[in-house]
Chain A
Amino acid sequence: MAWPSVQFKVTLFKRAAKRIPALARFDFESFRQQAVVFGTLNLFLLAALLLLHSLFSSLLGSPSPALLIILGTAFLLKMLELLWLWAAIGTPSRTLADLLVWASILLNITLALALTFLTNRGESPYFVLLAIPVLQAAYRFRLPTLIAVIVVCDAMTFFWVWYFGEFHSPMKAIEYLESGVLSVVYALMGSLVWLLVNQLRSDQSRLAHSLEELERTRGKLLEEEKLAMAGRLSSAVAHEIRNPVSIISSSLVTAARPELGETERKDMYEIAGKEAARLEKLTADFLTYARPTQPQRVPTSIAQTLGYVAEIANVHAAKRNVKLGLEVDDELQVDIDRDQVQRAVLNLLLNAIDATPEGGQIALRGHRVSNGTLEVEVENSGEPIPKEALSRIFEPFYTTKAQGTGLGLAISKSIAKTQGGDLALTRNEAGRVCFTLSIADEEPAPGANNHG
């Protein structure tokens, strides 16, 4: 049952992450949420007081019209505030938000005082309204402001007891004691809420700081990895280009030496030509990888496509006595770019042949998975790819072969990605090494490839 708790933590974490700007800047959204909660509470209290007056008029005395008008106006004002908050018209500044809170605090204090005067009773039920200013100040303001609000509210309760005693029957000590209890309750409630809120805020800011730090470290690591990859890439490119260039220039210089025999001179020219062609192939391969052409999808028989590639690969496989088996549904038709997919699969097959020991076997399988994606698996019976190579096999120019540019897997992956799919090593055990190429049913959204 660990899952819900983990989920909950993740949600908290995300919320905290969202609040990062709120700590530095004014976040209207979080203010709105608080204000709506306080506003609703306030509205309930006012409604309860109105109800109290109509239900228990025998106890409280029938309400005067002025009292009802004041309560009603306050209720309407609060409703308007809530409506404005719900509609969230515009994005008010921090000053406006503070003004709104102060207005609410003053409204409740004045209301409590006014209603108490109007009912003119020794024990006023309206002091319950003072809970709202205390809570709001505790939630939103610094300690000195909170203390000031608590003092004003407490003083009001004592003042009323004294005032009532001056003009009516003298007050007993018990009345002051009641005011005292109420004052202590407000003071405790205010401080407790203030402490909890601040504890929460400091936890939140610590979390936000850790998150920021994590994000920074992640960015730095990514940057370093990018630089390391750029370094490996440039040295690989240098290696791949300078070797043929060296061979071309040396063969031409050697061919120009008069003492060289005629057949050897011909060989030298031939080698220069071959190396020039190799450079051209390297350039073409690299362009295929780095700037893949837009796929031209047409309904294609997968059995025919894979059969064609298998036939080409079989020529190489037969030389090494490797058996190549094809498993595909004859009826399977998918919209794909046939040429590109053939190229991607051929790369995988040629790699598989190189990786398979003499007498081994390769399975080429094509099938459709539930969401319509075409999956082509190329599995060989060779040794697993060593752990240290796993993170780099799809990197361009990474190769373990003497004769290879290291672009095969990179190109196949790039082809899969332009058709909304991917290429992955899906099994890596001795005797079962499997690459799976997937091609999505539909084109990826524009720019989706950039995230891959």
Chain B
Amino acid sequence: MGRLLIVDDEPNLRRVLGSDLRLDGHKIEEADGVRSAVSLLTEHEYDVVITDQKMPDGDGLKVLTAARENDTSIAVIFLTAVPTIELAVESMRQGAFDFITKPFNPEVVRATVLAGV
């Protein structure tokens, strides 16, 4: 199974998603914003990054850029509450693995993570 990084400013969302994915056998780490995600990405290796789009200290595209700078094989999955076509296109162009809108079906997230690992 894979090494996962969950980036979201909502602690409860990280917690719930982490518990769910841990049951599938993944190893989970959490970051509460763009800054901590970027520093974790430079220090550790991950297979999959799940990142929120809108966070107080920046947006998910920065996490995507940082992830792909370190390792182009990382699958970055976007979670967003406010989906726009521009954002979807931009994230795909920059090499995002998938784009999931909130509220999401946890089954879909699990399946996407499994595909990305």
Identify the stretch in A180-188, A244-252, A330-338, A428-436 within 8 Å (CB) of chain B at 4 or more residues. A244-252
Q: Which of B12, B81, B105, B106 contacts A271 (CB 8 A)?
A: B12
Nearest CB on B from A272, distance (A): 9
Q: B106 touching A250 by the CB < 8 A rule?
A: yes
Chain A residue nearest to B83 (CB atoms) is A238
Question: In whole angstroms, how far apart are the Cα atoms of A402 and B15 in the complex?
Answer: 16
Contact present for A402 and B106 (CB under 8 Å) = no
User: Shortest Cβ distance from A240 into chain B, in angstroms?
Assistant: 8
Query: What's the Cα separation between A400 and B56 when bound, in Å?
Result: 6
In the assembled complex, B115 has its CB within 8 A of some CB on chain A: no
A268 at the interface (CB under 8 A from B): yes
Residues of B within 8 A of A246 (CB): 13, 79, 81, 102-104
Q: How far is the CA of A256 from the CA of B34 in the complex (A)?
A: 31
For window 142-178 of A, CB contacts with B under 8 Å fall at: none
Are A247 and B10 also in contact (CB < 8 A) when A238-B81, A242-B81 are?
yes
Mask: chain B, 21-63; 1 = CB below 8 Å from A; 0 = not: 0010000000011000000000000000000001110000000
Given known A254-B20, A257-B23, A259-B23, contact A249–B103 (CB-CB < 8 A) = yes
Please tell me if B19 contacts chain A, counting CB pairs below 8 Å.
Answer: yes
Interface of A is mostly: helix
User: Bound state CA distance, A55 and B87, in angstroms?
Assistant: 95
Residues of chain B with a CB closer than 8 A to A239's CB: 54, 81-82
Specify the chain A residue showing the minimal Cβ separation from B100: A246
B103 with A274: CB separation less than 8 A: no
Q: Does A253 contact B (CB under 8 A)?
A: yes
Q: How far, in Å, is B72 (CB) from chain A's closest CB?
A: 29
Q: Does B86 contact A (CB under 8 A)?
A: no
State whether B12 touches A253 (Cβ < 8 A).
no
B16 within 8 A of A: yes
B56 in contact with A268 (CB, 8 Å): no
User: Is A235 located at the chain interface by the 8 A CB criterion?
Assistant: yes
Q: Tell me if A271 and B103 are in contact (CB < 8 A).
A: no
Decide: A402 and B20 in contact? CB cutoff 8 A: no
28 A-B pairs within 8 Å (CB atoms) are namely A235-B82, A238-B81, A238-B82, A242-B102, A243-B13, A245-B103, A246-B81, A246-B103, A247-B12, A247-B13, A250-B13, A250-B16, A250-B104, A250-B109, A253-B20, A253-B105, A253-B106, A254-B19, A257-B20, A259-B23, A264-B19, A267-B15, A271-B12, A275-B12, A399-B56, A400-B56, A401-B56, A402-B32
The 9 residue pairs across chains A and B that have the minimum distance between CB atoms: A242-B81, A246-B103, A242-B102, A254-B20, A245-B103, A235-B82, A239-B81, A246-B102, A251-B16
